[in-house]
Structure 1
Amino acid sequence: MTQAHQHTSHGDIGHHGHGHGGGHGGTQQDGDSGQAEILELDAEVLAEHIASITAWLPLKVEPRQIVDLGCGTGAGTFALLERFPEAHVTAVDASAGHLQFLREKACARGVSDRVRTVQTDLDTSRWPDLGTPDLVWASASMHHMAHPDRALRSVHELLAPSGMFAVVELDGFPRFLPADAPEGRPGLEERAHKATDSFHAEHVPHRGADWGPMLAAAGFDVQDERTITVNIAGNRSEAVGRYAHGSLQRIRGAAAPMLSPEDLAALDELLDVNSPHCVLHRDDLAVRTERTVWAAHRS
């Protein structure tokens, strides 16, 4: 994903330069569909961790009005609706396709009366009317903002006087393979990630930032900060294999020019669904990453 107004689940490769699309020259609709799939896998695999974050939030009162900034297909939206059964959520994203997907899910789950969607670019200087929320949730979206300081001030103005802003960020793409994999090219996954460093430095310079000082500069009082280690064994869910496949496929696009021919061939074999060495057939996968959460109130 390229821009702050877009949600991405765990990273940025394959999401840049397309307005929340596929990143390999496809149409906007194709891109939305492709990224929706990876966002849904992210939500499924990491559901317990999302729920643990919503349960941890140090709220003074239970929120009734919530805004989900960069909502994507609604992982945060639905976790918040479940955690706060009296709340209504305004889900904000630039992708019409993702918001349509979110609305369809809301109908299927019987909560459409509790969800409002707003399509907008959050990098604009003036946001549409998003109400006066008690809680603003931004998961894996703030680091995409072209002007994060301006966006933080906008959230500060938006919040109710006693409201909370929860910023959730992941430490880039998850890792899936053991360090000694694949056979013959051990450490391939780490080299593929390293090959994308220059891409991220150019396009998402705020990835991995410490949001505490920036929140304070925007007028927030950071009440608490928490880092959650994620380590989910692949045998817990068959979705982990599909999640690994989709993630590595997205990384390949940016990493390919910097990888050796041997590494690229090994990566392609991991992605080849007809190969017995494809990640979809491995039984040694795990989802490894970290999430950091900053919980801040208006000063």
Structure 2
Amino acid sequence: MPHDHLIELLDLDAEVLHEYFHDVIGWVGREATGQPRIVDLGAGSGTASIALARELPGSTVTAVDVSPEMLGHLRSRADALGLGDRIGTVEADLDQPWPDLGPVDVIWAAASMHHMAEPANALASAYGALRSGGLLVIAELDSFPRFLTGTMGEEAELRGHAEAAKRRHEAGLHMHENWGDRMSQAGFASVTERHFDIDLRPPLPAATTRYAQVSLSRMCHGLEGRLASRDLATLEEAIAGLADREDLTVRTERTVWLARR
């Protein structure tokens, strides 16, 4: 997927699932103390960096990502919102030795840990970067958003998600890890786990249609040659008709772990 489409998808995810993000960011805000230094690992389009800076007015945020396009988008958004003086960026490949990020008070890693080649090394680096008592927050997807539940496209969408899961497994992504156990093994304490079963029904935010269009188009693009042609045709037909639908739903599951050094 081109970077501009992925940036749009990440921004839409935060907009449509705003209640989930508000809940999690608020939780971190209550657990953090003082005026924390925050690192956002794999910051992507910067939705979390901006939300954390807003939730914690005295904080400073360092957004780390391997993509200069993502970081450029993030800086532009931060500047437009008057947060440019509190949100800095670092371009880095987190599978390589980390740049000096510490000491920091909060490390936030949303949908980024599963991309790490060696999660144990990443957790050790996070532990080393945090102050004593600092927080590590890992948020991961248990399932990717589903939009066609109860419609003619439901079964094709489910088969698409199953095939996409196989593709991620083949690529070596660390999906469905018990990050709480891994955090404990890395030396973190007071691990708390929260599961979010997200089920949004109509009426939904106006951005939901575009969110579904981009998400399902990404699925089709990634599964060409892997998913049965009839299923691809069904999904493409569903995408073409999304603007006229009033029965869209959004279903996904996320798990968040919070631990202290």
Are 1:282 and 2:245 counterparts?
Answer: yes
Residue number among 5, 12, 18 corresponding to 1:47 in the alignment: 18
Does 1:152 find its partner at 2:123? Answer: yes
The secondary structure found in structure 2 opposite 1:160 is: strand
Distance in 2 (alpha carbons) for counterparts of 1:114 and 1:271 = 39
How many residue pairs end up in the alignment?
Answer: 260
Deviations 1:85-140 (A, max 9, x none): 1000000001101111111111110111101100000000x211213111000000
Task: Give the TM-score, by structure 1 length.
Answer: 0.83
Distance 2:216 2:259 in 1: 34
- Which structure has more strand as a fraction of its residues? 2
Contact kept? 1:135, 1:159, Cα under 8 Å:
yes
Aligned equivalents of 1:283, 1:265: Cα separation in 2: 21
Question: Structure 2: where are the runs of 5+ without partners?
Answer: none
Q: 1:73 maps to what in 2?
A: 45
Residue 254 of structure 2 is aligned with which of 263, 282, 291?
Answer: 291
Q: Do 2:194 and 2:256's aligned partners in 1 also have CA atoms closer than 8 Å?
A: yes
Q: Aligned-pair distance for 1:263? A: 1.8
- 1:51-76 CA deviation, whole Å, 9 max, x = no partner? 11021236262452000000011111
Instruction: Name segments (4+ residues, structure 1) moved above 6 Å.
Output: none
> Is the CA contact 2:32–2:105 (under 8 Å) kept in the aligned structure 1?
no
> Is this contact kept in 2: 1:162–1:297, CA < 8 A?
yes
State whether structure 2 residue 24 is matched by structure 1 residue 38.
Answer: no
Q: Which of 60, 70, 88 is 1:88 aligned to?
A: 60
Helix, strand or coil: the match of 1:289? strand
Aligned partner of 2:138 in structure 1 is 167
TM-score by length of 2: 0.94
132, 149, 152: which one pairs with 1:178?
Answer: 149
Whether the 8 Å contact between 2:116 and 2:173 is mirrored in structure 1 is no
Residue 127 of structure 2 aligns to a residue whose secondary structure is helix
Out of 85, 91, 94, the residue aligned to residue 119 of structure 1 is 91
Q: What is the Cα deviation at residue 175 of structure 1?
A: 0.6
Instruction: For 1:134-149, list aligned pairs within 5 A.
Output: 134-149=105-120
The answer to whether the 8 Å contact 1:215/1:222 transfers is no
SS of 2:132's equivalent?
coil
Match of 1:105 among 67, 77, 80: 77
Deviation at 1:234, TM superposition (A): 4.5
Note closer, same or farther for the CA distance 1:130–1:291 as it changes in structure 2 (3 Å cut): same
Assess, with a 3 A threshold, how the Cα gap between structure 1 residues 96 and 205 changes in structure 2: closer, same or farther.
closer
Q: What is the aligned partner in structure 2 of residue 266 from structure 1?
A: 234
Amino acid at match of 2:4: S
Residue deviations 1:126-163 (CA, integer Å, cap 9, x gap) = 21121311100000000110111000000000001110
Greater CA drift, 89-98 or 40-49:
40-49
